[in-house]
Amino acid sequence: MATRLQSSLRLVARQTGATLARTPVWNRPVAWATRAAFSTKAPQFFAAPHGKVTYTADKYPYLKRDNTFKKLSEEDVTYFKSILVPSSITQDSEDLETFNVDWLNKYRGQSKLVLKPSSTEQVSKILKYCNDHKLAVVPQGGNTGLVGGGVPVFDEIVVSMSNMNTVRSFDNVSGALVCDAGCILEVLDKYLEERGYLMPLDLGAKGSCHIGGNVSTNAGGLRLLRYGSLHGTVLGLEVVLPDGTILDNLSTLRKDNTGYDLKQLFIGAEGTLGVVTGVSILAPKRPKAINVALLGMDTFDQVQAAFKRSKDELSEILSAFEFWDRAAIKLVKEHLVAGANDPLESLHNFYVLIETSGSNKDHDDEKLNTYLEGLMGDEIVQDGVVAQDTTQILNLWAIREGIPEACSKAGAVYKYDISMPVPVLYQAVEDMKARLVQSDAYGDGKLFTSVIGYGHVGDGNLHLNVAAEKFTNEATALIEPYIFEWTAGHSGSISAEHGLGVSKNNFLHYSKSASMIELMKRFKEMLDPNGIMNPYKYLPDK
């Protein structure tokens, strides 16, 4: 009896362990063990064997291994074994896959070694050694990035922060939270919830992403509208520089004008200037009253009108203003993401989700009702619902947060994250569709099956998703560099919040001038002269 149990436990562990560990929490279905092991129609990326993903280096032949980097040798492994416990070192090829492949199943590296340090001192020793021996390194958080910035391209060593996950301190008068970089965002939010505070950022990947990764990518998310960006909410950082120096700037002070604000350089640097090991962040008070409304409208002009009014009539209580289009809701319904169902009776061309957060329920209810009454009266809105309890609030958000997952189930999805003036926000979707139709590449059985638009209206940030049968160079050529040229032509940013990684670094010139890029390269050369930190990414190839 014991042996039969053992062998079936091993079978389940083998089949599900590798895929499950790297599958973000919000993608995991309930009763995962049975579904993953025995389901006959498993969702594409949940059970896709990693062997199916092409190596990044093969898919993009313009990427060439920098041979000034040393190749990993037994001596190197012996050294790491001398400073880390065995469970902090991964060399098994099956286990390596979860660190080598990104969340989108689009990029696959060839790393032979993953290190999981448990302290800043260990990170310092690792980087010093790698710098001395010119071993390339990729810092990795929750591996939920969307531009291939957290996975290796060739045989870079992965330094995963998942073992550094302790909260160091919390000041419940000022709201300053100090923690390790490997803390998962949702875990931090739950910690703060018990103390009456919340994290100033929120994104769909919260169940898996690390705060260190959020900082290194300057993650935006659903509440940037209300709480601002990490450049404002981060009070201090602890960073290990490429040569092993530990830079301790972990302040909890709200105001400190003493010298160049170095931490700003590391926020959004995507691990190319050092490894973030500690974060000090200002947590706002958790609002007492939250309201969420879902609205359906016919035109994007109406979406804009609703947004303009919300700034007037909801202003200080407005905490999120998201939109998505008909294509997005159709996908969510088709793939029934997380049981999300559409509460509106008919399909609309555009949907808006508004969230308000305040300190007084009665005041907020009144403001929201007046605002919604006005929208209905002036026919800016065709239909809508207001959540009556927390469960309904979570369900409405589940629709918005389920869109990325629903998109990825539609096939191979090209994701673009661009910012531009709000009035032209949806034009990018319309122009892209027109271009694909013109090239006879749009529709059932064609190269591309749908074009979806959704995003943060308030921040002028569009997430443009173009779904294809698979990622091919032919498909890519139709949309890139067109989408970047379009964005540059509208004075926008080619990457509003996702960052550059390996996906967009060569398009940087569409958004930044030559002299700015030159100065960025000088910073990089100064801090990382051997170029070991996350190479082949972020800055354009020479």
Partner 1 sequence: MSNLRILVATKRVVDYAVKIRVNAAGSAVETANVKHSMNPFDEIGTEQAIQIKEALAKSKTGTAEVVVVSCGPAKAQETLRTALAMGADRAIHVDSEEDLQPLAVAKLLKAVVEKEKPDMVILGKQAIDDDSNQTGQMLAGLLNWPQATFASKVELGDKSMTVTREVDGGVETIKTPLPAILTTDLRLNVPRYASLPNIMKAKKKPLAKFAAADLGVDIKPRLQTLKIAEPPKRQGGKLVESVDDLVDKLKNEAKVL
Query: Which stretches of the chain bind partner 1, using CB under 8 A?
Result: 1-2, 5-6, 9-10, 13, 288, 293-295, 343, 369, 372-373, 376, 381, 383-392, 394
Nearer to partner 1 by C-beta: 353 or 496?
A: 353
Angle at Cα 48 formed by Cα 43 and Cα 51, nearest 5°?
170
**HSE-CB of 163 using CA atoms within 13 angstroms:** 18
CB of 376 to partner 1, least distance (A): 6
How far apart are CB 338 and partner 1 at their closest, in Å? 15
Asked if 452 and 325 count as a contact pair (C-beta separation under 8 A), the reply is: yes
Q: Calculate Rg over the CA atoms of the chain.
A: 23
Shortest spacing between CB 360 and partner 1, in angstroms: 11
User: Which residues lie across from 167 on neighbouring strands?
Assistant: 179
Q: Which is nearer to partner 1, 42 or 305 (CB)?
A: 305
In angstroms, what is the minimal distance from the CB of 390 to partner 1?
4
Instruction: State the nearest-atom distance from the C-beta of 157 to partner 1, in Å.
Output: 24
Contacts of 309 (CB under 8 A, 6+ apart): 371, 374, 375, 380
Cβ 14 to partner 1 shortest distance, Å: 10
Q: Specify the residue, 379 or 518, whose C-beta has the smaller distance to partner 1.
A: 379
Give least dist CB 22 to partner 1, A: 18
CA dihedral 73, 79, 83, 89 (to 10 degrees): 20
Q: Which is nearer to partner 1, 13 or 253 (CB)?
A: 13
The residue assigned the tokens 């890029």 is: 517
- Count Cβ atoms below 10 Å from residue 490 Cβ, excluding itself: 17
Q: Compare residues 67 and 388 and give the one whose CB is closer to partner 1.
A: 388
In terms of CB distance, is 194 or 474 closer to partner 1? 194
C-beta closer to partner 1: residue 274 or 384: 384
Region for 325 from its dihedrals, namely left if φ exceeds 0, alpha if ψ lies in -120 to 50, beta otherwise: beta
The DSSP code sequence of 72-111 is P-HHHHHHHHHHS-GGGEE--HHHHHHHHB-TTS--B---
Give the nearer residue to partner 1 in terms of CB position, either 68 or 370: 370
Distant-in-sequence, close-in-space partners of 39: CB < 8 Å, separation ≥ 6 = 47
Dig out the tokens for 43 from the structure.
């969702």
Per the CB < 8 A criterion, the answer to whether 150 and 143 are in contact is yes
Query: Considering the complex, what minimum distance in angstroms separates the CB of residue 365 from partner 1?
Result: 9
Least CB distance to partner 1 at residue 8 (A): 10
H or E segment and range at residue 357? strand 350-358
Per the structure block, which two tokens stand in for 212?
């260190």
Closer CB to partner 1, 282 or 396, in the complex: 396
Q: In what order do the strands lie in the sheet with 157-160?
A: 89-90, 114-115, 157-160, 137-140
For residue 285, the minimal CB distance to partner 1 (Å) is 12
* Chain center to CA of 226: 19
Closer Cβ to partner 1, 132 or 379, answer by number = 379
Structure tokens at 459: 């921040």
Q: How far is the CB of 492 from partner 1 (least distance, A)?
A: 33
**CB contact set of 52 (below 8 Å; sequence gap of 6+):** 105
CB nearer to partner 1: give 285 or 308: 285
Nearest residue (CB) to partner 1, 284 versus 411: 284
Shortest distance, CB of residue 123 to partner 1, whole angstroms?
23
Of 67 and 391, nearer to partner 1 (C-beta) is: 391
Per-residue tokens: 54: 């092409």
At closest approach, how far in Å is the CB of 16 from partner 1? Answer: 14
For every residue of 298-354, DSSP letters joined together read S-HHHHHHHHHHHHHHTGGGEEEEEEEEHHHHHHHHHHTGGG----SSS--SEEEEE
Spatial distance between the Cα atoms of 176 and 422, rounded to a whole number of angstroms: 33
Q: What are φ and ψ of residue 356, in 5° steps?
A: -120, 145
> Whose Cβ is closer to partner 1: residue 33's or residue 434's?
33
Instruction: Report, in Å, the least distance between residue 196 CB and partner 1.
Output: 9
> How many Å separate Cα 114 from the centre of its chain?
21
SS3 for 212-259 is HHHHHCCCCCCCHHHHCCHHHHEEEEEEECCCCCEEEECCCCCCCCCC
